[in-house]
Chains A and B, each alone.
Chain A
Amino acid sequence: MKRRYADEKIWWIPLVIGVTFLIPLGLDSYFTYVFNLAGIAIIVAVGLDLLSGYTGLISLGHAAFMAVGAYTSAVLVAQFDWPFLLSVLAAGVIAMLAGVILGFPALRLSGLYLAIVTMGFGVIVHRIIIELHVWTGGSDGMPVPVAQILGVEITSDRSQYYLIYIFAIVMTVIAKRLTATKMGRALVAIRDSEEAAQSSGIHLGRYKIFIFAVSAFYAGVGGALYAHTIRFITTDYFNILLSIQFLVMIIVGGIGSIYGAVLGALFITFLPEFIRVVKDFLPPDVAQFNDLQAISFGLVMLFFILFEPLGIYRRWLKIRIYWKLFPFNPKQRGETNH
């Protein structure tokens, strides 16, 4: 009998996990912090990739799911003294409920209209959080207590790193396995042709709402971790630009691949650091930091959409295939279809 994972090379997975746990040992506090942000971005981006990459439903509202998660966890810990791990779970579940609610319009809409509705969802969540100012502090923002697990306070950047990356690795692996199940294949079928999927007996409504819920759960957990890492949250942070950033991560990484989403999240989170280095070589007039960052962000986004729509991960696969076949490469005939 063929073993379950026989056709997949998985030896490198423990290697990557091992390296992940060694990384913070060689980093100062600031870069550990940036890695922490990247880890949170990985969780949200992987969730978004399940929704947008695999199922083809565009969401411009993932920052809002993140906000729901962040505020749920912060309020539960600060006002109701819930233990941290339970509140993270609750954050995911509440975000998931929001995802189910948003999933209903998604049954009737697709493409452009869905993008617009999810955008509106973001605006509405923003307003609701401000209206609940008794708990959330409204537009002034809200301080978040330190995460505590079994009485141990997670304050240092390094301990936060391990907390975040345990979540990130577990959730990435779950997402990867999910895509290989019957359910994952059904989602891809929906993306490629709703009519064909329906004709093959896939219940469109059930799957769409399910994937909205899962994706929102990921964003909610990411938001909760963000809240306890930064320790101060404002509604302004969770704006539409943040939602766009997550979409850019999955585009840059390679839409419709989980590992691509991970690479994209790392790439986009470290982009500002890279620009910070380049900035020193520019004349001070040009180097107005925020604008420069936004422009290069937009240009990177454009570059990938126009010239490398399949992202970093697919480029890597192409290079690997090229060397595998090396002296006998077939002649390139235009763009290959994936």
Chain B
Amino acid sequence: MTAQIIVYGISLGCVYAIVALGLVLIYRATELVNFAQGEMMMMSAYVFFTLYSMEMGLFTAVLGSLLFAVILGVAMNTIISRPLIGKPIFAQIMATIAMSIVLRSLTGVIWTHEDLFMYPSPVSMKPMNVGFLQISPYQIVIVGVTIILVLLLYLFLNLTRFGTAIKATSENPVAAQLMGIPIKRIYVAVWILSSLVSAVAGMLIIPQFGLQPMLGSRLLLMALPAAVLGGFGKLEGAIAGGLILGILESMAIVYLPTSIYDIFPWIILILMLLIRPDGLFGTPVRKRV
């Protein structure tokens, strides 16, 4: 039983982890917390859904969704990120919240507020017996895609020149610029990267959650605690935070009364911030005066 719950938790946690990854990518590079990340994810998912239900084939639908994500990433960089770099954190938070409101209601205008479901799902959700566990192909796809995505991201950031430039910019933008790194272009790249990552998460969750304009904020409310749990700013922290939260949530659904389980991530988060404000993987930052 417990192992079964953990399997479910891992597949859930993978989605949280990917969304949190998108958040952390942007935060590391631009020090901006993107409250519109959930909406970006959701809109890409809607594009995927529309193309797929127009019988364009799975491949075209994925490609179309990723293309849309690129455009959205560039737009976010131009509208939100560029004018607000270095501005007070208050203005940044409010600006991304404003953007999330605009995107959410745009989604409502374009796709209506009704729940959309994908029947049949491109990947079977019927559980199979694997040893003593029951695992559906859908769960395997989620975990598989997450592993591939994280690997690709890791290779990209560590082995390519461009990835190194992104890391350098996150570390110290001024020094990076002095070394001849075009940091404005890097910021655009980071936004595109983050938008692509969340588009992948968006496509993965459609069979499980369906589509609804409030979906974005609902997932952000899980991804934010996940990112904080891992110590905002660490990629591996985001993944670990997402997985931990997913597993804990699936356990809470089973073992705790329903009245507690939806506030459960927040209780963990608040306790965490009180005990160890820098997260599991974070290192305390000392502020220079």
Q: Are B93 and A298 in contact (CB under 8 A)?
A: no
Min CB gap B163→A, angstroms: 26
Is A265 located at the chain interface by the 8 A CB criterion?
Answer: no
Min CB gap B86→A, angstroms: 13
Q: Are B95 and A294 in contact (CB under 8 A)?
A: no
Q: Are B228 and A56 in contact (CB under 8 A)?
A: no
Pick from A120, A195, A255: contact of B269, CB under 8 Å: A120
Given A109-B273, A195-B287: A294 touches B104 (CB 8 Å cut-off): yes
Q: Interface residues of A toward B: which range? A: 35 or more
Q: Are A117 and B287 in contact (CB under 8 A)?
A: no
Please measure, in the bound complex, the distance between the C-alpha atom of A297 and the C-alpha atom of B267, giving whole angstroms: 31
Query: Would you list which residues of chain A between 270 and 313 have a CB under 8 Å from chain B?
Result: 288, 290-292, 294-295, 297-299, 301-302, 305-306, 309
Q: Are B93 and A115 in contact (CB under 8 A)?
A: yes
Is A315 located at the chain interface by the 8 A CB criterion?
Answer: no
Query: Would you list which residues of chain A between 110 and 162 have a CB under 8 Å from chain B?
Result: 111-113, 115-117, 119-120, 123-124, 127, 130-131
Interface centre among B90, B100, B262 (most CB of A within 10 A): B90
Pick from B94, B101, B225, B269: contact of A251, CB under 8 Å: B94
Pick from A123, A130, A248: contact of B94, CB under 8 Å: A248
Could you say which residues of chain B place their CB within 8 Å of the CB of A247? 94
Q: Are B273 and A112 in contact (CB under 8 A)?
A: no
Given A120-B266, A247-B94: A112 touches B33 (CB 8 Å cut-off): yes
Is B128 located at the chain interface by the 8 A CB criterion?
Answer: no
Please measure, in the bound complex, the distance between the C-alpha atom of A295 and the C-alpha atom of B108, giving whole angstroms: 10
Could you say which residues of chain A place their CB within 8 Å of the CB of B129? none
Beta-carbon nearest neighbor of A306 in chain B:
B83
Beta-carbon nearest neighbor of B261 in chain A:
A127
Pick from A112, A124, A301: contact of B266, CB under 8 Å: A124
Could you say which residues of chain B place their CB within 8 Å of the CB of A301? 94-95, 97-98, 101
Q: Are B89 and A298 in contact (CB under 8 A)?
A: no
Please measure, in the bound complex, the distance between the C-alpha atom of A52 and the C-alpha atom of B91, giving whole angstroms: 12
Is B106 located at the chain interface by the 8 A CB criterion?
Answer: yes
Q: Are A298 and B277 in contact (CB under 8 A)?
A: no
Q: Are A117 and B269 in contact (CB under 8 A)?
A: yes
Q: Are B101 and A294 in contact (CB under 8 A)?
A: yes
Is B3 located at the chain interface by the 8 A CB criterion?
Answer: no
Min CB gap B197→A, angstroms: 20
Beta-carbon nearest neighbor of B91 in chain A:
A305
Q: What per-residue 1/0 map shows which CB atoms of A196-224 lie under 8 Å from chain B?
A: 10000000000000000000000000000
Is A188 located at the chain interface by the 8 A CB criterion?
Answer: no
Is B105 located at the chain interface by the 8 A CB criterion?
Answer: yes
SS class, residues of chain A in contact with chain B? helix
Pick from A108, A127, A244, A291: contact of B108, CB under 8 Å: A291
Is B192 located at the chain interface by the 8 A CB criterion?
Answer: no
Beta-carbon nearest neighbor of A107 in chain B:
B274
Is A42 located at the chain interface by the 8 A CB criterion?
Answer: no
Please measure, in the bound complex, the distance between the C-alpha atom of A58 and the C-alpha atom of B94, giving whole angstroms: 10
Q: Are B94 and A291 in contact (CB under 8 A)?
A: no
Q: Are A117 and B93 in contact (CB under 8 A)?
A: no
Min CB gap B71→A, angstroms: 18
Q: Are A112 and B232 in contact (CB under 8 A)?
A: yes
Given A117-B269, A195-B287, A244-B97: A108 touches B89 (CB 8 Å cut-off): no
Could you say which residues of chain A place their CB within 8 Å of the CB of B270? 105, 117, 120
Please measure, in the bound complex, the distance between the C-alpha atom of A306 and the C-alpha atom of B99, giving whole angstroms: 12
Beta-carbon nearest neighbor of A240 in chain B:
B217
Min CB gap A61→B, angstroms: 11
Q: Are A116 and B228 in contact (CB under 8 A)?
A: yes
Could you say which residues of chain A place their CB within 8 Å of the CB of B273? 105, 108-109, 113, 117
Please measure, in the bound complex, the distance between the C-alpha atom of A107 and the C-alpha atom of B12, giving whole angstroms: 33
Sample of 14 further A-B pairs with CB below 8 A, known A112-B33, A244-B101: A58-B90, A115-B93, A116-B224, A117-B270, A127-B259, A127-B260, A196-B289, A248-B94, A292-B105, A294-B105, A301-B97, A302-B95, A306-B84, A306-B95
Instruction: Please report A residues at the B interface, Cβ cutoff 8 Å.
Output: 52, 56, 58, 104-105, 108-109, 111-113, 115-117, 119-120, 123-124, 127, 130-131, 193, 195-196, 241, 244, 247-248, 251, 255, 288, 290-292, 294-295, 297-299, 301-302, 305-306, 309
Complex A-B: 23 CB contacts under 8 Å: A56-B90, A112-B33, A112-B93, A117-B273, A123-B221, A123-B263, A124-B266, A124-B267, A127-B259, A127-B262, A131-B259, A255-B90, A290-B108, A291-B105, A294-B104, A294-B108, A295-B102, A297-B101, A298-B98, A301-B98, A305-B95, A309-B87, A309-B91
Report the 8 A-B pairs with minimum CB-CB distance, sorted nearest first: A120-B266, A298-B101, A298-B102, A294-B105, A301-B98, A291-B105, A111-B89, A302-B98
